[in-house]
Amino acid sequence: MHEMALCEGIIEIVEQEARRRSFSKVRTVCLEIGALSHAAPEAMRFCFEAVAARTVANGAVLKVEKLPGIAWCMGCSRSVEIAQRYEPCPCCGSYQLHVTAGEEMRVKELEVD
């Protein structure tokens, strides 16, 4: 389960920010996850709770905002939304798509004390 490793990375970011900005408690972590990132939001929530124990994020809520997958279609020269890789362009049916967004994951904001 790679979500555990991803959550460990999130906690590292949170703890670095806690040291940098001198806060001692995190109430909420808002996370953006691209639809093409292969990270399951429910698995992320489960793993986050386990990894956050005994850290400044202990008891924090993980809010997940799902971002769409976007690709540039070389067939019809459009930017299109896709749900997964290797599917055809929803406009023209071409498989010549170049992913431009939706693979990312980032900590968008923290609610802290």
User: What would the pLDDT profile of 76-113 be if each residue is shown by its tens digit?
Assistant: 999 999 999 999 999 999 999 999 999 999 999 999 98
Report the candidate in 93, 72, 88 with the shortest Cα–Cα distance to residue 80: 72
The span from the CA of 39 to the CA of 6, in Å, is 9
Residue 28 is predicted with a pLDDT of 98
For the segment(s) 2-68+102-112, the CATH number from 1.10.10.10, 3.30.2320.50, 3.30.70.20, 3.30.2130.10 is: 3.30.2320.50
Summarised one tens digit per residue, pLDDT across range 27-59 is 999 999 999 999 999 999 999 999 999 999 999
Among all chains, which residue has been given the structure tokens 């693979």? Answer: 103
The span from the CA of 46 to the CA of 48, in Å, is 6
Residue 32 is predicted with a pLDDT of 97
The span from the CA of 70 to the CA of 80, in Å, is 6
pTM, entire model:
0.84
Segment (H or E) for 11: helix 2-21
